[in-house]
Structure 1
């Protein structure tokens, strides 16, 4: 039986390249594509893929937020995170959100195929360049000190991402169907919880934890 794959990346050329690569792999079929997390969820509900491959840094709803929504709305879909970043924090954010695997974008094609087959068999897959020892050390640090991002609500994480992508209060309010005052309240609360009190600091933090990238 074919492994049915949904592919989500906000760069059309990247999607096209990965799609072409997947077509060369026996028994793997791309059934849908998306340019953002929200569209990926809708396509998943329509096409019922076995696996979704998600870019970690998409505009609007990034890959990590999409994983959380997939777990709630499409729990049967297994999730592979695709990223340019190998830091332990990015990896653990993805795994803690519910991803079954984490693969770097510069990985060899055979590793992508291996990840897809392993994950659809119910196993976890981490890129061969990632260090299990470094991940264990990171998990110990988080267990001892906690992770700031986990204290934010989903709405605060969403607003943090939009701030980092350059949206102002009015634009955020329009996109999320909120009042400007509500957006300002959420921003003040997330600044307080993160102990970061300026927008450049929020942008740097959002990039560091994988909510967005410098190129966005």
Structure 2
């Protein structure tokens, strides 16, 4: 068990879940909820006021995005551990949360013991992924490693992010939203990728990426 007090902020736009999660956390030994928030802007404000070790973060906030809130919080308080607890267990939500800097990811419905393990792990600086998403996280990391070698070595980290999402079939507007960029910036990245990988169109780029294992979902289990 973690000996030191763990202070937590809970961010969720559904009051019933937010209050219930806060009550659950307050029942855990040496875990104390010091604030709650219901929107992206409120989350940043409350976290910067209280400076908790852990933020339990929903992704779909009525007043903004949990992933964007995560990015902004970590810009100001990089040691904060973000534990995403969300309804979304799909690849895109997982990828966006990890890229934003989340250390933990659970799907709502996780049991109290699993939530407690995740909170304590994130507070200690570890990464904790729920069983529903762990296999897909490994697939993401495997694809990222593929993009760092061979002819993909010239790509910058952000270009690799764009390539991963492009290979998964997303359009520029969606990629821009997920990576918190403008569509024009994404177009510039795509053009740079075309040039570096010597391809002439999007279809050829997708084929090349998928042949290297980038953007290819791997079966779990």
TM-score norm. by structure 2 comes to: 0.65
Q: The residue matched to 2:10 in structure 1 has which SS?
A: strand
CA contact (8 A) 2:12 2:18 kept: yes
Query: What are the residue-to-residue correspondences of 1:196-215 with 2, within 5 Å?
Result: none
Q: State the distance in 2 between where 1:84 and 1:107 align.
A: 10
Write out per-residue CA displacement over residues 34-62 of structure 1, whole angstroms, 9 at most, x where no aligned residue: 00121111111111111111101102321
Q: Which residue of 2 aligns with 1:146?
A: 164
Asked if 1:31 corresponds to 2:51, the answer is no
1:147 match: secondary structure? helix
Instruction: Report the counterpart of residue 51 of structure 2 in structure 1.
Output: 48
What is the TM-score when the length of structure 1 is the normalising length? 0.66
- Structure 1 or 2, whichever has the larger Rg, is 2
1:112 aligns with 2:115: yes
* Structural RMSD (CA): 3.0
Asked which structure has the greater RCO (Cα within 8 Å, sep 6+), the reply is 1
For each residue in 1:139-158, what CA deviation from the matched residue of structure 2 results, as whole angstroms up to 9, or x when unmatched? 4557664214797799x539
Aligned to 1:182: none
Which residue of 17, 22, 26 corresponds with 2:20?
17
Q: Is the 8 A contact 2:10 2:33 kept in 1?
A: yes
Q: Which runs of 5+ in 2 are unaligned?
A: 148-162, 191-221
Give 3-state SS (helix, strand or coil) of 2:9's partner. strand
Number of paired residues?
A: 165
Distance 1:10 1:123, change over 3 A: same
- Aligned to 2:77, which of 71, 74, 77? 74
3-state SS of 2:85 partner: strand
SS of the aligned residue for 1:146 comes to helix
**Equivalents in 1 of 2:124, 2:116: separation in Å?**
13
Instruction: Name the SS of the counterpart of 2:121 in structure 1.
Output: helix
Deviation at 1:32, TM superposition (A): 0.4
* Unaligned 5+ runs, structure 1: 161-185, 195-216
In 2 relative to 1, CA 131–37 (structure 1 residues): closer, same or farther, beyond 3 Å? same
